[in-house]
């Protein structure tokens, strides 16, 4: 798993790449927390208040805001 944070003038993007060897991912957002379950392990990521979108695609969690 790798975590990257990219900051632009008007937006911050956090990317969490779980890698190709990870199993099926599921994700839910509860209040200010993104909860990801992968390979039976639960991981939690803080979602900033200014976040506009939280998605999982191709085993990459993206938090934009």
pLDDT averaged over every residue in the chain: 91
**62, burial (CB in 10 Å: exposed 0-12, middle 13-18, buried 19+):** middle
14 — pLDDT class (breaks 50, 70, 90) = very high
CB atoms within 10 A of CB 56: 16
Residue 59 phi, psi (nearest 5): 65, 25
The residue ranges of every structural domain in the chain are 2-64
Within a 13 Å sphere around the CA of 41, how many CA atoms are in the beta-carbon half?
Answer: 7
Average pLDDT over residues 32-43: 92
DSSP code per residue over 39-63: TTEEEEEE--TT--EEEEETTEEEE
- pLDDT of residue 22 exceeding 80, the answer is no
CATH architecture of 2-64: Sandwich (2.60)
- Provide the percentage of residues in the chain whose pLDDT is more than 70: 100
């Amino acid at each position: 798993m790798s975590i990257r944070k990219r900051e632009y003038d008007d937006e911050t993007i956090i990317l969490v790449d779980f890698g190709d060897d990870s199993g099926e991912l599921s994700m839910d957002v509860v209040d200010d927390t993104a909860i990801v379950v992968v390979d039976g392990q639960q991981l939690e990521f803080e979602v900033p208040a200014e976040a506009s979108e939280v998605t999982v695609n191709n085993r990459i969690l993206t938090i934009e805001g």
